[in-house]
Amino acid sequence: MTVELLKFEPEGPRTAQMFVALTTAARDSGITVTHTTAYEGQSDCLMLWGPGAPSRWPAMQAQRKRGGHVVAWDGAYWSRDRKLRCSIDAAHPQHMVMRTDLPDDRWQQDPAPVANAWNPEGPVVMAGLGEKARVQYGADQIDAWEAEMKAASRDCWPTRPVIYRAKDRQAQPIDAFILGASLTVTWHSNASVDAIRMGIPVVCRDGAAAAVCPATVTCEPQPLAPKVRDQFLSNLAYFQWAPNEAGQCWQFLQETLCAW
């Protein structure tokens, strides 16, 4: 397999560390990695960081148009100080994450807290998007969908608070913010995965959680069944990796791409 690793400036230290690890491990996996700063389109697979940034879209679209694959990296779902998440041929892995039941070994080795923090009478929490995502999907479209979901929540629960949480790295961590919520609503956000872990129902349009959660508000939301939640988290653990797992990551990506 040949891989074009398309790099953009500025590049964060964790991204750089991951790409160095992947490049080194590729040699032992029979993979040829070529580093570029402008898309060349000569490799089986294009790899890059930050698929939500507009500067990435032309290369991703061109690679898919020519029949190649794209592996896109971004911040992890949990263990965010050590790992990065990946997706194949899209910004998020909802089209792949539940295609098969993967083992729970990676989840067991690096679990995140799981709880039953759902309060059926609690507030509805809406998690907003950052500016990059608002550009990517269209701010007007996102605003219209959020307004529709807020109106649907008001129709179902006229006296229940609907709390909007803008994306803010300085704010209270989202997994603490959503404790005791009756529902978490977001176009796409790591908040949806956090809510699933906390046993809280989720409505989302995009992102990994869209593989198992509805896209519209209903008046009787339910958390995922424990069996479904556990399998979702076990599978999702295969879509995030640390630099010291680069060799295992290549093995997973090769097997997944061959089956895709």
Which amino acid, residue 194? D
Give the number of C-alpha atoms closer than 13 A to the C-alpha of residue 139, restricted to the C-beta side. 4
Question: What is d(CA 85, CA 18) in angstroms, rounded to the nearest whole number?
Answer: 11
CB 63 within 8 A of CB 69: yes
CB 53 within 8 A of CB 12: no
Residue 124 CB neighbour total at 10 angstroms: 25
Residue pLDDT, tens place only, 143-164: 999 999 999 999 999 999 999 9
CB 217 within 8 A of CB 203: yes
96 Cβ contact list (under 8 Å, min separation 6): 87, 88, 239, 256, 260
Q: Which residues pair with 35 in a beta bridge?
A: 5
Residues across the chain? 260
Residue 168's pLDDT band (boundaries 50, 70, 90)? low
pLDDT of res. 18? 98
CATH topology (fold) of 2-99+240-259:
Rossmann fold (3.40.50)
* The pairing of beta strand 69-75 with beta strand 84-88: antiparallel
Question: What is d(CA 45, CA 23) in angstroms, rounded to the nearest whole number?
Answer: 14
pLDDT above 90: residue 242: yes
Residue pLDDT, tens place only, 197-241: 999 999 999 999 999 999 999 999 999 999 999 999 999 999 999
Question: What is d(CA 41, CA 38) in angstroms, rounded to the nearest whole number?
Answer: 9
* Cα separation values, 214 from 21, 63, 147, 172, Å: 37, 30, 17, 26
List the one residue out of 168, 211, 176 whose CA is nearest residue 195.
176
Task: Compute the mean pLDDT over every residue in the chain, rounded to the nearest whole number.
Answer: 93
Residue 246 CB neighbour total at 10 angstroms: 22
Mean pLDDT of 31-49: 97
pLDDT of res. 129? 81
pLDDT of res. 71? 98
Residue 172's pLDDT band (boundaries 50, 70, 90)? low
Mean pLDDT of 187-201: 93
